[in-house]
Amino acid sequence: MNGHLVVALAYDQLCTFEFGCTVELFALNRPELGVDWYQFAVCAAEPGKLRAAGGISFEAPYELAMLDLADTIIIPGWRDADETPPEALLEKIRAAYLRGARICTICSGVFVLAATGMLDGKTVTTHWRYAEKLSRRYPHVLVQANALYVDQGQILTSAGSAAGLDMLLHLVRKDYGAKIANLVAQRLVVPPHREGGQAQFVSRPMPSDEHARLAKLMDWVRSNPALPHNLASMAEKAAMSTRTLQRHFRESTGLAPGEWLIRERVAIAKELLESPNTSLPQIAELAGFGSEESLRRHFRRIVANSPSSYRKQFAGSQTATEMA
């Protein structure tokens, strides 16, 4: 990561929150981490003074030519999903992509990438309010409307506002590993990783007492993952019928109870794998999978990686049991 340059795009009517998240992640000095942190720069999408949401006027220190040097480009939203970005900007982004730069968008910033034509055939996400518009305007782009962020390797896209933090922490995790990403998340006072999708944040009517019971059930299951949970036992714990429980789970998380449970167990397994001191059989038991084979199957399906490979990437070492 020595000298890795992150360039954030500024533009007139800048989305202040998304830009602020980018600055917070990449522009601050972090000597406490003990690693060679990112270099950071801001370039303007257009000349002259720029305005930002909230009535702020500012000038970006660099012009579009800075994109020619970027290792990672962040597009923190776009001022109007219905406005085609300037062609000079689109040409710079295409050139950056062709030379291998990583390009990331937050919220409506995906419309800038879509306008380049680079997203055809690729899977992306955006804020749920823009998903239908993006699909309609760019029918060759595969829009995963429920995702918090989508990692396609060289291109990463995130949903609205705070989901940008999820994606940016994911970048740190890819570049520096889980330990560093967790330390950055602690400094931001946010979770290092959130499971689930945008469906949990879409406004839907839910009676407050049932919502409280569901939240209490989720907390209890997370605290007791090794117990033999199933639909009937969770419904009984929440004092709901199985049908009601299923309905509220989908409204809250976008998932069926069983799938939510598996993903929670995978999340626990990921945390345990980040330490080299717990064997796979122990992790399978602690996370509630019951067997190492079950852990491997569900982990590979959800994470698209094996537990051992995940541990090698994020813990940096493997136990003798796993190497066997």
Residue 250 has pLDDT above 60, yes or no: yes
Residue bearing the bigger pLDDT, 136 or 2: 136
pLDDT digits (tens, 9 = 90+) for 179-220: 888 889 888 877 666 655 554 444 333 444 566 788 889 889
Q: What is the pLDDT of residue 209?
A: 58
Residue bearing the bigger pLDDT, 164 or 104: 104
pLDDT digits (tens, 9 = 90+) for 64-94: 999 999 999 999 999 999 999 999 999 999 9
User: Hey, what are 93's tokens?
Assistant: 């982004």
Q: What is the pLDDT of residue 318?
A: 39
Q: Which long-range contacts (CB under 8 A, 24 or more apart) does 235-244 make?
A: 238/213, 238/214, 239/213, 240/210, 240/213, 240/214, 244/210
Identify the CATH class of 5-188: alpha beta
pLDDT digits (tens, 9 = 90+) for 277-312: 889 999 999 999 999 999 999 999 888 889 988 888
pLDDT digits (tens, 9 = 90+) for 110-141: 999 999 999 999 999 999 889 999 999 999 99
Where do the structural domains in the chain lie, given as residue ranges?
A: 5-188, 204-324
Exposure on the CB side of residue 45, measured as CA atoms within 13 A: 25
44/9 Cα distance (integer angstroms)? 6
Residue 18 has pLDDT above 80, yes or no: yes
60 in Cβ contact with 22 (< 8 Å): no
Identify the CATH class of 204-324: mainly alpha
Residue 130: other Cβ atoms inside 10 A:
21
Exposure on the CB side of residue 227, measured as CA atoms within 13 A: 11
- Please tell me if the domain spanning 5-188 has the same topology as the one spanning 204-324: no
Q: What is the pLDDT of residue 195?
A: 57
Mean pLDDT calculated for residue range 262-285 = 89
The whole-chain average pLDDT of the chain stands at 87
* Identity of the residue numbered 262: I
- Write out the H or E segment, with its range, that includes residue 65: none
